[in-house]
Chain A
Amino acid sequence: MTDPRPPRPGTSTRGRWSLICLLLAPAVILPLLVPLYDQEDPVLLGFPFYYWFQLALIPASVVLTAIAYYLAKSADLLDRESHGTRRGEDPR
């Protein structure tokens, strides 16, 4: 709302939202692909691969989500501007 740019009606944020989904996808999909990390080796600090890999996914997903947060912030702003003038379309 403090954005100095004039509202741009009809600006499509489809590309930005696709990028956000693409960024977040690994954080959802990788942890669910159990065969990928279902093994003992290599061991790290005493932890079998199975355990340290899953724990390592946590900081990785934090980084992805943080980037997605900043992208979403600007995409949201554009969405809201376009909705201010035009209704009926429902981009994500």
Chain B
Amino acid sequence: MSDVSTVAFSVFIFFFLLVTILGFAAARWRRAEALDHLDEWGLGGRSFGTFIAWFLIGGDLYTAYTFIAVPALLYVGSGIGFFAVPYTIVIYPLIFLFMPRLWSVSHRHGYVTPADFVQGRYDSRPLALAVAFTGILATMPYIALQLVGIEVVLQVMGIGSETANWFVRDLPLFIAFGVLAAYTYASGLRAPALIAFVKDTLIYIVIFVAILYLPTQLGGWDSIFSSVSDNFDAFNTENADAIAAGEAAPKSVIPAPLLHWAYASLALGSALALFMYPHSVTAVLSTRQRSVIRRNAALLPAYSFLLGLLALLGFVAVAAGVAVENPQQAVPQLFENEFPDWFAGVAFAAIAIGALVPAAIMSIAAANLWTRNIYKAYLRRNATPSEEAQQSKWASLLVKFGALAFILLVDVQFALDFQLLGGVWILQTFPAIVVGLYTRWFHRTALLAGWAVGMIYGTWTAWNNPKLGDPGSHFGSPLDPFLSVPWSDTFLPFDTLVYIGFTAFLLNLVVTVVLSAILRALKVPSGVDQTTPADYHADLGDKGVEEELDPYTTTSHP
């Protein structure tokens, strides 16, 4: 606990109040229709060109993930945290190849969510339900990561107390959460859209100052890396016994060879996962033309570079002598130590608001999934627009409470583990969605079985993973020996650590392929495909291509 100056605190509160007012005022911003008709939530009314898409999608990358979660791993000497860089390199060629197809087929048929596409392609309501359910579930820990970001900023500022009572301790977080929930409820997507301007401006200022100013204060990258290296060596010598006993992890600037596959599988797994999340699909589908996606795939890596330098702030914190118990506090603490008070306040506000905006967008996207693919598909087929709006509002609240439950109930060592847990789940929808964009060879029943196997294996393995030096604890690490089974360590001859989500994804694929072959041989009906090959190339201006997708109109499914 540190004493933060009144100046930093006042600046923070100023920006927090500003965005709160903006959030509520957003309800009146460009108010075209009655608010209980949610035409402007979701994608409606947004037709973004290359520049705005670049700005918005890029701004979305800088969340608590970038400022808090990734640097935390480097701060504790796990060079593995830098996987965020290969992750954000690998992702763009993948988007380049498959996202334009999803754009085309979605705009031809009016699909707004991945579950819509799966329903249309495979004619399988259970499979679409599984995809929708997974999207909602996986979004919760991702939002939890954002809330952790807000929490640590508040802690570093010294708001809240370290008492044992969890309610008192987390009260400031609950207040921030309550404000977020209230204005998202009141204003819908307009709130984060309006706040995003403030958020991106603040974030870019802080990023550039942090990256350019901080290294010069510490003698340049040269001396940062050498002092980090000395620091880690000292730690390893000091804790040699604990490391040998497997109770502590050795620290290193570069990950040990044992972790190569962990590093690569985290990068690839995260890349495959990101664009399966409901909020990312929403962002991609809201572009005006299919070529906007490809152009952005070439432009967006510019952000990866900044992301890499921000990740290295974890090392900068070590070199600057930041000593915090909770590694998530490393970067905020670094800002407090190194920046003048007023600018520390700006930086804290940037991190907190940078977490609030994506949290709001994610919860709305998940709520849309609920309303469109579960409520309307199963519970109330002829719901009125105002009933749908009400459903979405409630669902967005519930998703946020789900995220809060993750923070309170799932005790992870690193905030990053929340995002990776979400990745374990959302990756299981990849075969149905992405492979489905190219071929319909996978059988719908096989896809559902593969999904179930992946979900069960992934959840079970993650749950059984204890933290280092704390046997019996859960969700300790996103890594596990490849294809391990809970009842035996020596069942398979693999001891290479691999991202659980990736192993689960491979299992899922194997089950899907084998069952597809069997079901096809048995000639089990595979349903009617709504789409035609030409749908996957359609572009703006073609016959039947909808310029804007509106999540709240029932589409004209042929």
- B3-11, B90-98, B242-250 - interface stretch: B90-98
B267 proximal to A (CB < 8 A)? yes
**Whole-angstrom distance between the alpha carbons of A29 and B291 in the complex?**
24
Tell whether, in the assembled complex, residue A58 and residue B89 are in contact, meaning their CB atoms are under 8 Å apart. Answer: yes
Shortest C-beta distance, B257 to chain A (Å), equals: 7
Shortest C-beta distance, B324 to chain A (Å), equals: 23
B536 proximal to A (CB < 8 A)? yes
Tell whether, in the assembled complex, residue A57 and residue B257 are in contact, meaning their CB atoms are under 8 Å apart. Answer: no
Tell whether, in the assembled complex, residue A83 and residue B305 are in contact, meaning their CB atoms are under 8 Å apart. Answer: no
What B residues does A34 contact at CB under 8 A? 255, 260-261, 263-264
Tell whether, in the assembled complex, residue A61 and residue B254 are in contact, meaning their CB atoms are under 8 Å apart. Answer: no
Shortest C-beta distance, A27 to chain B (Å), equals: 5
**Whole-angstrom distance between the alpha carbons of A35 and B261 in the complex?**
9
B111 proximal to A (CB < 8 A)? no
Tell whether, in the assembled complex, residue B89 and residue A89 are in contact, meaning their CB atoms are under 8 Å apart. Answer: no
Shortest C-beta distance, A87 to chain B (Å), equals: 6
What A residues does B542 contact at CB under 8 A? 80
Shortest C-beta distance, B386 to chain A (Å), equals: 40
**A54 with B86: in contact, given A38-B257, A46-B224, A72-B96 (CB under 8 Å)?**
yes
**A46 with B223: in contact, given A28-B93, A31-B90, A69-B295 (CB under 8 Å)?**
yes
- B132-140, B296-304, B348-356, B479-487 - interface stretch: B296-304
Tell whether, in the assembled complex, residue B82 and residue A61 are in contact, meaning their CB atoms are under 8 Å apart. Answer: no
What B residues does A54 contact at CB under 8 A? 82, 85-86, 89, 308
Tell whether, in the assembled complex, residue B82 and residue A35 are in contact, meaning their CB atoms are under 8 Å apart. Answer: no
Q: Which of A55, A61, A83 contacts B308 (CB 8 A)?
A: A55
Shortest C-beta distance, A60 to chain B (Å), equals: 9
Q: Which of A38, A43, A65 contacts B260 (CB 8 A)?
A: A38
- B533 nearest CB neighbor, chain A only: A90
What A residues does B295 contact at CB under 8 A? 69
Q: Which of B92, B254, B264, B305 contacts A65 (CB 8 A)?
A: B92
**Whole-angstrom distance between the alpha carbons of A54 and B255 in the complex?**
14
- Mark A24-54 against chain B: 1 for CB-CB distance below 8 A, else 0: 1101100111110011100101111011001
**A48 with B253: in contact, given A24-B96, A28-B93, A33-B264 (CB under 8 Å)?**
yes
B225 proximal to A (CB < 8 A)? yes
Shortest C-beta distance, B224 to chain A (Å), equals: 7
Question: What is the total number of residues of chain A having a CB less than 8 Å from a CB of chain B?
Answer: 46
What A residues does B267 contact at CB under 8 A? 31-32
Q: Is the interface of B mostly helix, strand, loop or mixed?
A: helix
- A26 nearest CB neighbor, chain B only: B93
- B541 nearest CB neighbor, chain A only: A1
Tell whether, in the assembled complex, residue B253 and residue A92 are in contact, meaning their CB atoms are under 8 Å apart. Answer: no
**Which residues of A from 51 to 92 have beta carbons under 8 Å from B?**
51, 54-55, 57-59, 61-62, 64-66, 68-69, 72-73, 76, 79-80, 83-84, 87-90, 92
**Whole-angstrom distance between the alpha carbons of A69 and B444 in the complex?**
33
Shortest C-beta distance, A37 to chain B (Å), equals: 9
Shortest C-beta distance, A31 to chain B (Å), equals: 3
A21 proximal to B (CB < 8 A)? yes
B537 proximal to A (CB < 8 A)? yes
What A residues does B225 contact at CB under 8 A? 46-48
- Mark B296-329 against chain A: 1 for CB-CB distance below 8 A, else 0: 0111011011001100100000000000000000
Tell whether, in the assembled complex, residue B221 and residue A46 are in contact, meaning their CB atoms are under 8 Å apart. Answer: yes
Q: Which of A45, A55, A64, A79 contacts B537 (CB 8 A)?
A: A79
B220 proximal to A (CB < 8 A)? yes
Shortest C-beta distance, A20 to chain B (Å), equals: 8
B539 proximal to A (CB < 8 A)? yes
**A87 with B533: in contact, given A46-B223, A48-B253 (CB under 8 Å)?**
yes
**Which residues of B from 193 to 242 have beta carbons under 8 Å from A?**
220-225
**Whole-angstrom distance between the alpha carbons of A55 and B305 in the complex?**
6
**A83 with B96: in contact, given A32-B267, A46-B221 (CB under 8 Å)?**
no
Tell whether, in the assembled complex, residue B221 and residue A47 are in contact, meaning their CB atoms are under 8 Å apart. Answer: yes
Tell whether, in the assembled complex, residue B90 and residue A32 are in contact, meaning their CB atoms are under 8 Å apart. Answer: yes
**A58 with B301: in contact, given A31-B267, A46-B225, A90-B536 (CB under 8 Å)?**
yes
Tell whether, in the assembled complex, residue B534 and residue A83 are in contact, meaning their CB atoms are under 8 Å apart. Answer: yes
What B residues does A38 contact at CB under 8 A? 254-255, 257, 260
Tell whether, in the assembled complex, residue A32 and residue B268 are in contact, meaning their CB atoms are under 8 Å apart. Answer: yes
Tell whether, in the assembled complex, residue B89 and residue A57 are in contact, meaning their CB atoms are under 8 Å apart. Answer: yes
Shortest C-beta distance, B509 to chain A (Å), equals: 17
In the complex, 17 of the A-B residue pairs with CB atoms within 8 angstroms, ordered by the A residue number, are A27-B92, A28-B93, A38-B260, A46-B223, A48-B254, A50-B254, A51-B312, A54-B86, A55-B309, A58-B304, A62-B301, A68-B298, A69-B297, A69-B298, A76-B290, A76-B291, A80-B534
Known contacts A27-B89, A31-B267, A38-B254; 17 further A-B pairs (Cβ under 8 A): A24-B97, A27-B90, A27-B93, A32-B267, A47-B221, A54-B308, A55-B85, A55-B308, A58-B301, A66-B298, A69-B297, A69-B298, A83-B534, A83-B537, A87-B532, A89-B533, A90-B536
List 8 A-B pairs, minimum CB-CB distance, nearest first. Answer: A46-B222, A31-B86, A46-B221, A24-B93, A90-B533, A34-B260, A65-B298, A83-B534
Binding site for B on A (CB under 8 A): 1, 20-21, 24-25, 27-28, 31-35, 38-40, 43, 45-48, 50-51, 54-55, 57-59, 61-62, 64-66, 68-69, 72-73, 76, 79-80, 83-84, 87-90, 92
